[in-house]
Amino acid sequence: MLAVLRNRTYRHLFAAQVIALVGTGLATVALGLLAYDIAGGDAGSVLGTALAIKMVAYVLIAPAIGAVADRLPRRALMVAADLTRAGVALLLPFVDQVWQVYVLVFLLQSASAAFTPAFQAVIPDVLPGERDYTQALSLSRLAYDLESLFSPALAAALLTVVTYNWLFTGTVLGFLASSALVVSVLLPKPAATGSTRPGRVHARATAGTRLFFAVPQLRALLALNLAVAAASAMVTVNSVVYVRDVLDRPAGAVPLALGAYGAGSMAVALALPRVLEKVPERAVMLRGALLLGLVFAGLGAITAAGSGSWRWPALLLVWAAFGAACSMVLTPTGRLVRRAAPAEERTAAFAAQFSLSHSCWLLTYPLAGWLGAEAGLQAAIVTLGAIALAASAGAARLWPSPRRAAVGYGPSVSPRPLTTARRMAHDR
């Protein structure tokens, strides 16, 4: 897998991604402490609102950036996003009002919504080979998982010697280093995008979304995104509830639970490059999504059990299974989007995937929190588990198998001459 790092351009871009992720992780810890300083006991509601603002920024900004990204120098766009994020992080230690936190979080996440789709779209051009690109996707998944483990540990270590405001300094340095690494390489030029008339801007803003609804495999990906969002929301929102309230474990056990989720995800990400050489994406992704329903059932059994020392290791196992199943869906996603979108629409397609997937989290995060708090954890499990199961079944129906659909369109798409996107979207 590490062989792709011999490519200098990809090596620098991957390093930029890792460093920026660590900076973001430090900011997440510092933002929680800042919210507590400002709002005290209401810090949870402040962070919940900030998380919702983050998702709204992702949903609204990514398609708009995707509409114009291919007309801008890729490197300049990514560097500008990094510098914007660094500037916002520099201002965060000086805020003393809740509304200021909300404004800066929106600006920070808007810049991320510009950077991430552009970064995702350039990697297939840097690594055109299918095997190299698959390895890059697995490395990217590992980077996210390792960040979720490493950043809190680093933040905890730093907080023993400095105040939390210095964590924002680490965030600034991370984004500055990321921008320097992007500047240090020459990026391939995107394919020609056709007409640049002003009247086409709105059409380009929605091009990626229209592509998702036109291609059966991408329609299935929408459903898969919802299944993953249901599972990951349960883990993200309710881990602390399970550890502290249900199982009566100490606060230090919360990172262990989240680490189990990350460990399951990393194990699958490491194995998938070889698996995908023999097994098509459809089989891997649909099995991962269907596995989520079984894992929700296991979580329900743990929750229903009144007591027992076995419930703690069982929860770790369930969280690891959630991570593994989500990784089975998420890791091959880039391969699917790359193949379904022609080169000139690739940035718009990745922007649409970024926006639409976060729309799912915008739905499932509040559900996981509100249902768990108001109706109990079993209600949250049943609801989110039903969403995951229905979305998985829908994805299996929407994604035509090779035996029942011609390449590029399924039964819901009337036979007609294939567009470039449909010709490139096949079941592998």
* Residues 151 and 286 grouped into a single domain: no
pLDDT of residue 184: 93
CATH assignment of the domain containing 222: 1.20.1250.20
Residue corresponding to tokens 């993200």: 236
* Residues 100 and 162 grouped into a single domain: yes
pLDDT of residue 68: 67
Neighbours of 307 (CB within 10 A): 8
* Residues 185 and 277 grouped into a single domain: no
Q: Which domain holds residue 127?
A: 1-197
pLDDT of residue 42: 64
* Residues 169 and 260 grouped into a single domain: no
* Residues 258 and 192 grouped into a single domain: no
* Residues 173 and 300 grouped into a single domain: no
* Residues 255 and 172 grouped into a single domain: no
C-alpha span between 197 and 225 (Å, rounded)? 33
pLDDT of residue 98: 85
Please tell me the total count of domains within the chain. 2
pTM comes to: 0.73
C-alpha span between 361 and 38 (Å, rounded)? 27
* Residues 217 and 361 grouped into a single domain: yes
* Residues 138 and 277 grouped into a single domain: no
Q: Which of 175, 197, 219 is the last residue of a domain?
A: 197
* Residues 174 and 291 grouped into a single domain: no
* Residues 186 and 234 grouped into a single domain: no
pLDDT of residue 198: 46
Q: Which of 197, 220, 246 is the last residue of a domain?
A: 197
Average pLDDT per consecutive 10 residues, the chain (428 residues; last block may be shorter): 83 91 81 76 64 81 70 86 94 89 89 84 84 83 72 72 86 94 85 47 66 88 95 85 84 77 88 89 94 95 87 95 94 86 76 84 84 86 96 93 50 36 41
Q: Which of 142, 169, 197 is the last residue of a domain?
A: 197
* Residues 254 and 398 grouped into a single domain: yes
